[in-house]
Structure 1
C-alpha cells in the first residue's frame, strides 16, 4: 500500500469527504467492520455548526456506535419533547417523545462538542482522519470515481487518496455532489434563517422545562433551544422572498418579530444577547442523484429539509448507518454495487420525502393540531392502527421503524449474482 509524506496510506476501501455526523457515523461503522477508511475534513474540530436540537431518531445510530453512555457523561441537556405555538389557535400545545417510540428523549447540544465526540469515536475504531484537508477534485478513470486529490492547510502539495468508493458527506458544501449532480430546490421552502444566543434565558414551566419552543408568527417562526446553563439558541425563519422584500436587515427583522412573539419574548425578558447574528439561506433541497459509479452521497450532501423539526442530524446519522451496511456488502461483492446503491438511494429519498411532505403540510398555520396529527398518520400509519397523536410523535421523532431505510437488505442481490456466475468463476 502506498503512503504519502504524512504517513497516511494512499489506498483505502472508502474515502469519506467530511467528518460531520454523517461522515463520522459512516466511517466509524465501516472501520468497526474492518474496512480501511479515510476521512478528509476542511475544518479542525471542534468547530461551530448550527443544528443544536436533536430528535430521538439520532439515538439509534449512537447506540450502534456505543456512544449513549458518553452522551450522558457529557452532560448535554436532555430533550423530552416540544412545545408549539402553532396553528389556528394561538395557545401553546406540546408533545412528549415517550409517546412515539423506544427512545423517550434526545438532547440539545453544542454541535462543536457533539461532532467531535462522534469523529473521535471513528478514530478509536480505526479510521484515518485528516483535518484541515481540502478536497480539490475527484479522480475519474473510465467514467468511474476512484479517489480524490486534496491539499492540507499550509501546504500547496497535492495528495492523492484512492478507494473502491468515495462518499460525499461534506454537508451543504456538496463537494462531489455539486459537480456530479443537479440540485432541486424545494421552492415552497426557500427560506432564510437568522439566529443568535442569549444568556440568562428563562425556561418553560414544569415538564416542558427542556422542551424546544417553536412559535409561529404571521410571517415566519422562531425556535428557542435551551442549550445549557441558561443559554438559549434563538432563530427566526421566514421565506427568502419575504426577507428580501423587507425594508429591515435580517437582524432588525429578528428583533421586530421577536417583539411580536408571545411565549418566546417572555422567556427572554431578563436575558442578554451573548453573541452576534448568523444567517443561512435556501435550506431545503434534494440532489437528483444519490450515487454513481464509485461514489455516493450521504447526509446534507444528498438532501436537506427545513429545520422546523430538527431532523438534520438524525437524518444524517441514520443515513450514514444505513449506507455503512450497504457499502460493506458492496466492498465484498463489487458486482452488486449499482443495484445495492439504488436500494439505499430509494429508501433514503423516501424517508426524506416523508419528512419534507409533512413539513410542507405543517407550514399551513391555519389548521388545528388534530389536522397535523392526522397528516402524520396518513404518512406513517395509513392503516390507522395507532392514535393520530402517537403517529405525529413517531414521525417528528424520526422513529418510523418499519421504514425500508432501517431494514435494507442486499442478500438477495448477492445470491442472484452467485447463481448466475459462470461455473468456476
Structure 2
C-alpha cells in the first residue's frame, strides 16, 4: 500500500495542534493534522489566561480571535474572582508583575477550537477531520502511522517528525506505554452551559468566578460567563463526595445550590443543556519526547482545571516545540529534553505548586488574606494570569520554597 509523506504529522486539531501546525507551516513545512472528531465540538477549558495571547500572536492567530470575539460570544476577561463562605476577593490581571497581555477571553471551545483550526488551514496545514490514528510505529527513523478515514478505510502516512496533540485521548502515551499516575488524586467534574440570567449588580462578567464549597474546602466550582448571557458552570471534587447513584444533572444542581452565592446568582438560570462529566482527568507521562516525536498539552501532563492552566500549558508546548522541530528538520542536532521538555516542565511545576497548595488549603489562605501586600499580590496575579515561565518573578523561580513562606505569613 502506498504511503503519503509529510514533514510533520500532528495528531489532534485542538489548540496545541492548531498552533504547532501553524507555526511549522509558516516555516514552509508540509504539515498534516489528523483529527478524530468533527468541528465544532463541545469541550471545556473555556477560560483563557492572558499568557495565551502571546502564544496565539506568535502563530498569527490572535487577530482572528479579536475579530470574531463578539460574533462568537467570547467574553472579555481581565481577572479572576474568588468566593469562600461569604468572603469575596479578586485578582486584576492588568495589575501583574510580568510583562505581556493582561486581558484575554472566556471562550466557547467549540467555536474557539474551530477558529484556530481554520487559521491553521489558511496557513497551509492540511487538516483531516473524522480520521483516526489506529497504529503508530516510531522505531524507524521516520514515524509511520496507520489511519482510518470516515469510510473505515485504512491508509498509511510517513513523517519526519510526529507531534501528539490529542488531548485527553493521549494517543501516543497509550500506544507507546508512556503513561504514569499523576501526583494528584482522582477527581471528578460535572459541568454544563446554562442561560445564566444573572442580574446581580455585584457580579463581574469580566472575570471567572471560583467558589469554594461552604463545608468542604477541597470542593470548588467554576462560573465562566460568556457575552451572550450564557455561562459555563461546573463542580470539582473527589468521587466519594458525589452520589454515584444520582444523575449528572441532579449532582450538579444539588451542589450548585449548596453554595449560597451561586444559588443567589443562578436562581433564575435556565438549565437547557445536558450535564457532562469528566473523571480521573489528571495525567502524567514518563517523558514528553523521543527521537522523532513529542507530546503537546494534555497528551503529556494535565494537572487540574482549578486555575485554567490547561490551554496555557498546551500553547506554550506548541510555541516551544516548533523552533526545535524546525532545527531537527534542517538536520541540526536537537536536545529535545533540554530545549523543550525541561523548560515546559518548569512552568508546569510552578502551576503544580499552586494547584497542590489550593487543595491543601494554603493557597486559599493566601487568596483570601485581608492584608495583601501589593507587590506580592502582583506576583501571584502574574502566575494566575499564566506567566508561570517568567523566572524574574520570585514565586516562579523558587515557587515551592517562597510560597511556603508566604502561606506561613498568611496563616
Query: Which residue number corresponds to residue 181 of structure 2?
Result: 185
Contact 1:199 1:274 in 2 (8 A): yes
* TM score, norm. by length of structure 1: 0.83
Contact 2:221 2:233 in 1 (8 A): yes
Deviates more, 1:173-182 or 1:287-296: 173-182
Displacement after TM superposition at 1:207 (Å): 8.1
CA-based RMSD of the aligned residues comes to: 2.5
Query: Which residue number corresponds to residue 283 of structure 1?
Result: 281
Report the Cα distance in structure 1 between the residues aligned to 2:79 and 2:185, rounded to whole angstroms: 24
Structure 1 residues 57 and 3: CA distance shift in structure 2, 3 A: farther
Query: Which residue number corresponds to residue 124 of structure 1?
Result: 122
Structure 1 residues 366 and 249: CA distance shift in structure 2, 3 A: farther
Contact 1:15 1:147 in 2 (8 A): no
Deviates more, 1:198-207 or 1:37-46: 198-207
Matched, 1:173 2:158: no
Matched, 1:44 2:38: yes
Displacement after TM superposition at 1:178 (Å): 1.2
Deviates more, 1:301-310 or 1:192-201: 192-201
* TM score, norm. by length of structure 2: 0.86
Q: Which runs of 5+ in 1 are unaligned?
A: 5-9, 378-383, 405-425
Name the SS for the 1:95 alignment partner.
strand
Displacement after TM superposition at 1:313 (Å): 1.2
Report the Cα distance in structure 1 between the residues aligned to 2:363 and 2:22, rounded to whole angstroms: 43
Structure 1 residues 202 and 154: CA distance shift in structure 2, 3 A: same
Contact 1:330 1:340 in 2 (8 A): no
Name the SS for the 2:226 alignment partner.
strand
Structure 1 residues 136 and 205: CA distance shift in structure 2, 3 A: same
The aligned length equals 382
Matched, 1:22 2:16: yes
Structure 1 residues 135 and 188: CA distance shift in structure 2, 3 A: closer
Structure 1 residues 273 and 36: CA distance shift in structure 2, 3 A: same
Report the Cα distance in structure 1 between the residues aligned to 2:367 and 2:120, rounded to whole angstroms: 42
Q: Which runs of 5+ in 2 are unaligned?
A: 393-411
Displacement after TM superposition at 1:267 (Å): 1.4
Larger Rg: 1
Report the Cα distance in structure 2 between the residues aligned to 1:286 and 1:271, rounded to whole angstroms: 37
| Higher share in helix | 1
Displacement after TM superposition at 1:401 (Å): 5.1
Report the Cα distance in structure 2 between the residues aligned to 1:3 and 1:127, rounded to whole angstroms: 21
Query: Which residue number corresponds to residue 7 of structure 1?
Result: none
Name the SS for the 1:228 alignment partner.
coil
Instruction: Please list, as runs of the form range in 1=range in 2, the aligned pairs for 1:340-351 lying within 5 A after superposition.
Output: 340-351=336-347
Query: Which residue number corresponds to residue 294 of structure 1?
Result: 292
